[in-house]
Amino acid sequence: MSLTDTAKRAVGLLDLTSLNATDTEETIQALCTKAVTPAGPVAAICIYGPFVALANGLLDQRIGLATVVNFPEGTQDRKTIETDIIAALHAGADEIDLVFPWQAFLSGKRTLARDIVAAARAVCPTGVILKVILETGSLASPTAIREASEAAILSGADFLKTSTGKTAVGATLEAARIMLSVIHDMDPEVGFKASGGVRTVEDAAAYLAVADEIMGPDWATPETFRFGASSLLDDLLKTLGHGSTSAEPSRASY
């Protein structure tokens, strides 16, 4: 597949993201505008909870509205997570990106980690997408990534997501291969999201190639595959001959 074809394919798979301490109403307004691109709409935007109501009033209805919970450390208690999800849903979110309690999981508290995901699933009604952020760079070992992937799926995840983008190691092709293999073996309807360091059309091509290899060439759609990023969109549009966008809410890839 050419880079142009990859760029066309990837625009509609993008969760355009701004998760910065410096976010303002103005940057979120710019993000909502940027989400409708000359090459078509992105799949979703992903923002902090306090901005969800604002974005809900501005965002093109073709585009999903995601927010993060238990973010970024993955150490909040169950009640706080449930409360944050309910508030986000009331404000208009239809996708929840939950950080897996990876620290608890690594310390042996695996039932606790699974229970957090299950609790999040329980407060998300039918139609709300639950993406579970595994923080694979911190899980580190192939065994831990595989076991966390299995635990998240068994607990109700709709998507497995690589990382928060807030740690030293974000998405890697090695982690993606493990996660997609688990999805293939357990439930091909579960999606995959590459997030953290995905910045170029070449990066996007590499992850799509792995997905096509493991899951088949027709599997990766907005319902099953996402890129979580901010700067990636500019490179995709440049590849398609549209130049860079004028509004850039964030340079940090997520």
pLDDT at residue number 244:
55
Q: What is the DSSP letter of 59?
A: S
168 Cβ contact partners less than 8 Å away, ≥ 6 residues apart: 137
Annotated catalytic sites, by residue?
97, 161, 193
pLDDT of residue 57 exceeding 90, the answer is yes
pLDDT at residue number 96:
99
pLDDT digits (tens, 9 = 90+) for 76-112: 999 999 999 999 999 999 999 999 999 999 999 999 9
- Model confidence at 184, pLDDT cuts 50, 70, 90, reads very high
Report strand pairing: 36-37 vs 64-69: unpaired
Contact 124, 89 (CB under 8 A): yes
Contact 124, 130 (CB under 8 A): yes
The residue type of 185 is D
Find the mean pLDDT for residues 65-71: 98
Angle CA 22–74–185, to nearest 5: 120
Percent pLDDT > 90 in the chain is 95
pLDDT at residue number 253:
39
pLDDT digits (tens, 9 = 90+) for 120-173: 999 999 999 999 999 999 999 999 999 999 999 999 999 999 999 999 999 999
pLDDT digits (tens, 9 = 90+) for 13-44: 999 999 999 999 999 999 999 999 999 999 99
Q: What is the mean pLDDT of the chain?
A: 95
pLDDT of residue 249 exceeding 50, the answer is no
pLDDT digits (tens, 9 = 90+) for 36-46: 999 999 999 99
- Model confidence at 1, pLDDT cuts 50, 70, 90, reads confident
- Model confidence at 246, pLDDT cuts 50, 70, 90, reads very low
Tokens at 44, concatenated? 């979703």
Q: Which of 52, 13, 12 is nearest to 31 (CA)?
A: 52
CATH for 3-240 (3.30.70.340, 3.20.20.70, 3.40.710.10, 3.40.50.2300): 3.20.20.70
In the chain, what is the straight-line distance between the N-terminal and C-terminal CA atoms, in Å? 25
Beta-ladder partners of 229? 16
Spatial distance between the Cα atoms of 81 and 120, rounded to a whole number of angstroms? 7
Contact 232, 253 (CB under 8 A): yes
